Structure formats: structure tokens, C-alpha cells
Structure 1
Amino acid sequence: MSQLARPTQGRMLGGVCAALAQRFGMSPKTVRLIFVVSCLLPGPQFLIYLALWILLPSEDKVRATGW
């Protein structure tokens, strides 16, 4: 499995769903659909998305630092 980082290619908003899709070997469209459907349920999904957007590094920064 690859390191969890927001990709520079193929992202829509923050790249969080694309990063999770890469990490778990899924299609980004599938992860986005799961996220949208999960937002219809009660819970902190949107806040978790925002936190991951802030906390996950971009692939550019990961390559630059060598992590």
C-alpha cells in the first residue's frame, strides 16, 4: 500500500477521496459515491473530510521531503 497523500492529478475538491482510493486500491468515483451517500446519514463525515484535507500532505510535498 502507498503512503496516504492527496494526489496532484485526478482530484476534484481537496483530493481526499482520491487519496483514500489510491491507498485502498479502489476507484476514486466509488469512494466519492460512498462519501456522498454517507453524508445523508447522521455523523461527522463532512468534518472528517475537512480535517483530512487539512492534515493530509499533497503528493508534491511528500516527493519534495522524501517521506
Structure 2
Amino acid sequence: MEKKLTRIPSNKMIAGVCSGLAAYLGWEADKLRIVYVLISILSAAFPGILVYLILWFLMPEE
């Protein structure tokens, strides 16, 4: 079965981007959200909000 990268609106906090990424990677959504926020806050070179917005518009809904 081929994996597809999609947003999952049923398990969303904002747009379902992190839950879709977590499902694609086989991780838990809450852990991925924590890692994403920590990387966004601790790294000035990682524009977390911009990346999230781009993924929100590019990833199709499940």
C-alpha cells in the first residue's frame, strides 16, 4: 500500500498538517507537534510558521 502525505482534519489542532505528517512517518501526532514547536522556537533559521502555512496549502485533505 502506498503512503500518501495528506492533512487529517479529524485529528487537527489547527489544520491537520502535523497529524498528517505523523501518520505518514508512523509517529504519534502529539509527539510530532511538540518536536515541531520546539524546533521552531529554538532555531532562528527554521521558519516554522511559514513552513506550516506552506504545507497547509500544499497538502491535500484526507
In which range does the TM-score fall when normalised by the shorter chain?
A: 0.7 to 0.9
Describe the SS at the equivalent of 2:9. Answer: coil
* Residue 49 (structure 1) aligned with residue 52 (structure 2): yes
CA RMSD of aligned residues (A): 1.1
Q: Give the gaps of 5 or more residues in structure 1.
A: 60-67
Aligned length, in residue pairs: 59
Describe the SS at the equivalent of 1:26. Answer: coil
Find the aligned partners of 2:61 and 2:35 in 1 and give their Cα distance: 22
Percent pairwise identity? 34
Query: How far did 1:8 drift?
Result: 2.6
Q: 1:3 maps to which residue? A: 4
TM-score calculated relative to the size of structure 1: 0.81
Deviating 4+ runs (over 2 angstroms): none
Q: Give the gaps of 5 or more residues in structure 2.
A: none
Q: 1:58 aligns with which of 34, 57, 61?
A: 61
Describe the SS at the equivalent of 1:57. Answer: coil
Describe the SS at the equivalent of 2:4. Answer: coil
Which one has a bigger Cα radius of gyration?
Answer: 1
